[in-house]
Amino acid sequence: MNCDILVIGAGPAGLWAAKSAAEQGFDTVILEEHLSLGHTKHCSGWLLGCTFMHEAFDQLRDSLICQKGSRFVVRDAASGEIVEDVADTGWGGYLVRRELFDRELGKLAVKAGARLFLNVRATSLIREGEQVVGVRTSSSRLPEIRARITICADGMKSAGSGGFAAREVAQTAEAETYSGIQMELVNVTNVTPGAVEIYKSNDPALGGRSLWPHAAGITLASFSSVEAYENIKSRTDNALSLKLSRSYPIYISSFRNRKRMGFLYARVALPGLLFVGEASGCSGIVHGMMSGLYAVQAAGAAIRDSASQTNAADAYTELLKGSDIVKMPFCYRHIGEFYGSYRNWLEKSKEIRIPV
């Protein structure tokens, strides 16, 4: 099979790239290794409120159930006392079920003309000299796909052993990861849908834990393991445990995150191969979707002008590294280090946009 633009991975970054490419008339193919879009879930489902996302969400709001974000509350884990309380001034955005969000993006991409293939995993790159010209896959029906430009959007998997980013662009220190689980919990007490809670503590079991209350009584939370969750739930010496004491998970999924999440790899493109979303080092749904759009801008210009694949890689790198993705990264684990406070982060982030 041949196409103009091949997208590896059907998460938000890949799907938004594919939608944008198809809308511009490019023959676009998307490969997703799982049997469904939105599998597996490994994030809170928070769409940061900013100019870019408000405009994108206008295409989704009629078909997607969401909870409006209202505030960020930072609490002392032991006492429950508020350390920082940041009410929404436009940054609040939306809390969505990620599997449903991804499927809606998939619908938009397919309706725009992209071809989507589930249960097809890209296994290796096809090269002609220095140029990446497509991929080989795990599928007997699509063993090889050639493309003028390939966009790698295979998420955090890309940083792992054997992942495309780890093999092609990421240095070892850049791709270092940690693992954990995410749960959808019911019966978390004394939380308000839309009001995110972050817990501070010198106790490593409690420090950095967060609660993301969605509509319909579901709260998303992450832990290092099921045992860690059960341990926190059973304690009676802190406010977080009291909120979790009656909770039970209705969904559990594993995840891996980069320790330096949110910060781009030093290298984000090769001739014919552009990395987007988590595969490029940036984190967050909004930042991932924006990187996908930048990749299509660079790829589309190269294809239309019959420019070299090297030109596309250079143009994408320049676009990405001069963008708000770098100026205002979604570096959730490093808010204090990069922004100073949650308030500074949220107020700055609401201005994130794609230059016209």
Both 147 and 168 in one domain: the answer is: yes
Both 291 and 172 in one domain: the answer is: yes
Both 150 and 33 in one domain: the answer is: yes
SS3 of residue 47 by DSSP? strand
CATH at 268: 3.50.50.60
Range name among 125-134, 218-227, 347-356 with the lowest pLDDT average: 347-356
pLDDT class of 162 with cuts at 50, 70, 90: confident
pLDDT for res 310 = 84
Both 16 and 137 in one domain: the answer is: yes
Across the range 156-161, mean pLDDT stands at 92
Closest CA to 127 of 155, 143, 150: 150
Give every CB contact of residue 167 below 8 A, 6+ residues apart in sequence: none
Report field, pTM of the whole predicted structure over 0.75: yes
> What are the DSSP calls for 175-225, one per residue?
T-EEEEEEEEEE---S--TTEEEEEE-SSTTTTT-EEEE-STTEEEEEES-
Spatial distance between the Cα atoms of 46 and 330, rounded to a whole number of angstroms:
12
Closest CA to 131 of 341, 272, 9: 272
- Answer whether 132's CB lies under 8 Å from 150's CB: yes
Spatial distance between the Cα atoms of 188 and 196, rounded to a whole number of angstroms:
13
User: Structural domain tally of the chain?
Assistant: 2
| Residue 231 domain-assigned (yes or no) | yes
Range name among 20-34, 35-49, 76-90, 327-341 with the lowest pLDDT average: 35-49
Tokens representing residue 69 in the block: 């974000």
Closest CA to 303 of 149, 196, 188, 190: 149
| Residue 51 domain-assigned (yes or no) | no
Spatial distance between the Cα atoms of 157 and 111, rounded to a whole number of angstroms:
27
* Model confidence at 113: pLDDT above 90: yes
**Structural domain for 242, as ranges:** 66-95+177-258
Tokens representing residue 116 in the block: 């989507």
256-315 confidence digits (pLDDT tens): 999 999 999 999 999 999 999 999 999 999 999 999 999 999 999 999 998 888 899 999
- The sign of the CA dihedral 162, 165, 167, 170 is negative
Both 133 and 15 in one domain: the answer is: yes
| Residue 337 domain-assigned (yes or no) | no
Spatial distance between the Cα atoms of 160 and 162, rounded to a whole number of angstroms:
6
33-59 confidence digits (pLDDT tens): 999 999 877 889 999 999 899 889 999
Both 81 and 15 in one domain: the answer is: no
**Beta-bridge partners for 134:** 126, 146
Both 245 and 297 in one domain: the answer is: no
Both 156 and 197 in one domain: the answer is: no
Both 293 and 264 in one domain: the answer is: yes
Mean pLDDT of all residues in the chain?
95
| Residue 135 domain-assigned (yes or no) | yes
CATH at 227: 3.30.9.30
> What are the DSSP calls for 235-299, one per residue?
--SSHHHHHHTT-EEEEEEEEEEETTTTS--S--EETTEEE-GGGGT--SHHHHHHHHHHHHHHH
Spatial distance between the Cα atoms of 214 and 101, rounded to a whole number of angstroms:
14
